A and B are shown apart, each in its own frame.
Chain A
Amino acid sequence: MINIPIIEVQNLTAAYGNEVILDNVSFSIYEGEILVIAGGSGCGKTTLLRHLICLQKPVSGKIIVDGLEITNPEFDTEKLVEKTGVLFQSSALFGSMTVAGNINIILEENTNLPENVRKLLVRMKLSLVGLSGFENYLPSELSGGMKKRAALARAMTLDPHILFFDEPSAGLDPITSAELDKLILQFNASLGTTMIIVTHELSSIFAVANRVILLDEKTKNIIAEGTPEELRNDKSNPKAYAFFNRKIPKSNGN
C-alpha cells in the first residue's frame, strides 16, 4: 500500500454543547486502505464519522478530505458528493422511491447522462451488490440485508474514492454481514476505494480491516492504533487488549 494520506484529521475537538465528545484527535487515513474506527458504545465513533462527512462542524481542529479542507466554514458540502459515499446505519433509502429511483435521482442531479445510460448504470450498480432484478421494489419490501446492499449501491453511484460505513453489520445476521464484508473487500481490491468503517463488531473488524483506530470514552481520544492482530496480541495496552479479546478490562470502573 502506498502511504498517501487521503484524509487528514488534525487536532479535532468535537462537542455537543458543553459536553466534549472528542478531544484533540489527530490521525490520517491512507489511500486505498480499509480503516476501522472502533470503540465501545458512546466513545464518539459516530460523532467522528459525522465530522468526516461534514454533517457536523468541529469546535476546533481541521479535517482535510482529498485536498479539501471541509472544516472551513465556507466549504461547500456539495463538493464532497463526487468524492465520498456514505452507507448509513439505518440504510436511509428514500422510502417513497423504488430502489432504482433511489440511485437514479443521484445520476439525474449530478450528471448529464441520457436516460438509457442512466438506466443501465442503475442496473450495473444493483448488479454490483447482487440486487439485479429488484429495481422496482420499494425499500419497505426489502429485507434488512438487501436494504444495506441497495444503500451501498446508492453510495457507490458516482464512483467515490472514499466510502464511509456506519455500523454496516448492525442488525444483520452473521451470513448477511459476512456477505457485506466480502463486498467491501471486493470493491476495495478491484476499485481501490478507500473504506472507513465505524463498527464494534469484532468478527467484521478481523475480516476486513487493514488498520484499526480505537477510541476511548474516558480519554476522548485514540488509545490504540494498528492492525487487528497486533492489537489483539498487545498486552501492554489493557483497554485495547480487552476490547479485541472480548474481555472485561481489569481496571473497569476506575
Chain B
Amino acid sequence: MPSDFQITIEQLTLQKLLIHILGKLSVNNASSALEQLKGIIKEHSPQQVDIELSNVSYFDSAGAAVLIELGITCENRGCSIDFKGMNPEIKGLLDLLDIYALSHPDIITHKTIPGFINRIGEFVFKFIADLKWMLVFLGDFTIAVLYAITHPKSIRWREVIYYLEKTGVDALPIVILIQFLIGVTMAFLGSSQLKQFGANIYVANLVSLAMVLGVGPIMTAVIVSGRSGSAFAAEIATMKVSEELDAMSALGLDHQRFVVLPKVVAVVIAMPCLMVISDIVGILGGAVIAVTSLDLTLTIYLDQTIKSLKFYIIMRGLVNTVIFALLLSAVGCMRGFEAKGGPESVGECTTSAVVSAIFLIVVANAIMTVIYYGGTGLASVM
C-alpha cells in the first residue's frame, strides 16, 4: 500500500524538535506511524517536541490514539510535547476524550486472582450453598409430588402429553438403534468367552440380563438425560434469564407445578415404555449374533432367554428405570433454576444437568444392585 502520510523532522535547537505530520493519520497506517514517531523521539531524545498537525487531511480515532500514545511515551522519557495547528476536526475529537484517564492507570481495579487458600474457601462456601439449594429444591419437589399424587387433577396433563411426545416418542429411533447395537456387542463379547467352555447357549442369559437389568436401563437413562434432561435445563435456564420465572412467581404460579412436574411426570411415564421396547430390541440384537455366528436356532435362543428372565428381574429393571427417570428429570430441572446472569449460564446449566444426571444414575444403579443382590451374595457365603 502506498504511504498516504509523511513525517518530516526539523531540529529547531539542540533540545527542541519539530515534527510535521502530513496526509492521512488513520486506522490503516496508525501502527506504522506510531513506530516511526517513537523511533524519531528515541533517536533524537529531545527535551521538547512540537507536533505540527495543520497539514493532516484525514484523522480518526486511531490517529488520536497515536497522538496520545506518543504523549505517554514522551512523558515517560521526561520530554514535553505540544500539538500545534490542530484543525477543528482533530480538536473536536480530542476534546471529547478524557486524556488524563487515558494516560493513567485504571482507578477501579477489578478481578484480582484469588490465592490458593481463598479458592478452597470459595469452593467450600459454594459447595455448602449448592447443597442448601439442593435440599430446598428437593423439599419443594417432594411437597409438589405428594400434592400431585393426592390431587392428580392438579397435574397439567396437556403439557405432560407434549413432553411425553418430546421425551418418549421422539427418542424411540435413537434408543432402538443404540440398544440393538448394545445387544449385538454383548452377544459378540460374551460368545468369544463362552465358546471356550462350549457354553454358547448362555449368551442368551448374558444378553437378556444385561439388557433388562444391567447396561440397558443405564443406556436408556443416559440417552434420555442427554436428549431431555439437557433440554429441560436449557428451557428453564432461559426462562430464568429472561425473567419468565420471576413473572410466574409474581403471578402466583408455582414453579414446581407449572414448570417441573409436567416434565418429571412425562419422563417417569415415558422411560419405562422406552425400556420395554429397548429390552426387546437388545435381545433381538443378541439373537442376530446367536443365530449367525453361534450355531443356535432362534427358538433355542428365545427359549433360553425366557427361562433366564424371571418376572422379578424384569420388575427390578423397571424399578431402576423409574428411579433413573425421576433423578434425571428432577436434576435437569434443578440445574435450570440455577442459571443466573446472561446466555452463557444457560450453557453451563445444561452441561451440569447432564453430568449430574449421569453421575446420579450410576450411583443409584450401584445402590440398587447392592440392595437386590447384596443379601443373596451374603446368604450364599454363609
Residues in A179-202 with C-beta less than 8 Å from chain B = 186-187, 189-192
Apart from A127-B98, A186-B96: 12 A-B pairs, beta carbons within 8 A: A95-B342, A95-B344, A96-B343, A111-B28, A111-B30, A117-B34, A123-B102, A124-B68, A132-B107, A133-B107, A138-B342, A190-B93
With a cutoff of 8 Å between Cβ atoms, the chain A residues found around residue B28 in the complex are 111
- B27 on the interface (CB 8 Å rule)? yes
With A111-B62, A113-B31, A120-B102 known to touch, is A136 a contact of B341 (CB < 8 Å)?
no
The contact string, 1 if C-beta is below 8 Å from chain A, for chain B 30-72, is 1100100000000000000000000000001110111011000
Q: Report whether A135 and B106 are in contact in the complex, using a CB–CB cutoff of 8 Å.
A: yes
Judge whether A128 is part of the interface by a CB distance below 8 angstroms.
yes
A-B contact count (CB 8 A): 83
22 residue pairs of the A-B complex, CB under 8 angstroms, read: A95-B341, A95-B344, A96-B344, A112-B31, A114-B34, A117-B30, A117-B62, A117-B66, A124-B64, A124-B65, A124-B97, A127-B97, A128-B97, A132-B98, A132-B101, A132-B102, A133-B101, A140-B342, A156-B61, A158-B27, A159-B61, A191-B92
In the A-B complex, the 5 residue pairs with the smallest Cβ-Cβ separation, listed nearest first, are: A95-B342, A190-B92, A132-B101, A133-B108, A159-B60
Collect the chain A residues with CB atoms within 8 Å of residue B310's CB. none
Judge if B111 is at the interface, Cβ distance under 8 Å: yes
**Interface residue? A243 (CB, 8 A):** no
Tell me whether A113 and B27 are in contact in the complex, defined as CB-CB below 8 angstroms, given that A125-B61, A134-B108, A159-B60 are known contacts.
yes
* A129, closest chain B residue (CB): B96
Query: Are A191 and B93 interface neighbours, CB within 8 A?
Result: yes
> CB-CB contacts of B83-106 with A at 8 A, as 1s and 0s?
000000100110111100110001
Min distance, Cβ A166 to any Cβ of chain B, angstroms: 19
Partner of A117, one of B60, B69, B95: B69
Is A159 a contact partner of B102 (Cβ separation < 8 A)? no
Tell me the bound Cα distance from A135 to B110 in angstroms: 9
CA A22 to CA B130, docked complex, whole Å: 52
In the bound assembly, the distance between CA atoms of A191 and B97 in angstroms comes to 12
Q: Does A139 contact B (CB under 8 A)?
A: yes
A137 close to B (CB within 8 Å): yes
Main secondary structure of the interface of B (DSSP, over half): helix
Q: Does B111 contact A136, Cβ atoms closer than 8 Å?
A: yes
CB distance from A85 to the nearest CB of B (A): 12
Q: Shortest beta-carbon distance, B343 to chain A, in Å?
A: 5
Knowing A127-B102, A134-B108, say if A121 contacts B93 (CB, 8 Å): no
C-alpha spacing A208/B31, complex, angstroms: 36
Taking the closest CB of chain B, its distance from the CB of A89, in whole angstroms, is 15
Interface size on B, residues (CB 8 A): 31
Seen from chain B, the residues whose Cβ lies within 8 Å of a Cβ on chain A are: 27-28, 30-31, 34, 60-62, 64-66, 68-69, 89, 92-93, 95-98, 101-102, 106-108, 110-111, 341-344
Q: Report the minimum CB–CB distance from B185 to chain A (whole Å).
A: 40
Contacts of B110 in A (CB 8 A): 136-137
Taking the closest CB of chain A, its distance from the CB of B273, in whole angstroms, is: 39
Interface centre among B64, B96, B106, B341 (most CB of A within 10 A): B96
CB-based contact B96/A128 at 8 Å: yes
Report yes or no: B106 in contact with A133, Cβ–Cβ below 8 A.
yes
Report Cα–Cα, A188/B343, bound state, in Å.
34
A18 within 8 A of B: no
Chain B residue nearest to A190 in the complex (CB): B92
Is B68 within 8 A of A120, CB to CB? Answer: yes
Contact B27 A127 (CB under 8 A): no
Produce 1/0 per residue, A125-157, CB < 8 A to B. Answer: 101100011111111100000000000000010
Confirm or deny: A254 has a beta carbon within 8 angstroms of a beta carbon on chain B.
no
- Residues of B within 8 Å of A236, CB to CB, are none
Name which of A111, A159, A189, A191 has the most chain B CB atoms within 10 A of its CB: A159
- By a CB distance below 8 angstroms, the chain A residues around B342 are 95-96, 138-140
Tell me, in angstroms, the Cα distance from A159 to B108 when the chains sit together: 27
Give bound CA distance, A127 to B107, whole Å.
13
Within the assembled complex, what's the spacing in Å between the Cα atoms of A112 and B61?
14
B61 touches A124 (CB 8 A): yes
Give Cα distance in the complex from A127 to B68, angstroms: 13
Chain B residues with CB under 8 A of A113: 27, 30-31, 62
Contact of A190 among B96, B98, B341 (CB under 8 A): B96
Residues of A contacting B68 in the complex (Cβ-Cβ under 8 angstroms): 120, 124
Residue A77 lies at the interface, judged by CB distance under 8 Å to chain B: no
Q: In the complex, A75→B92 CA distance in Å?
A: 34
Cβ–Cβ < 8 Å partners of A112 in chain B:
31
Contacts of B27 in A (CB 8 A): 111, 113, 158-159
Q: Which residues of A contact B96 (CB under 8 A)?
A: 128, 186-187, 190-191
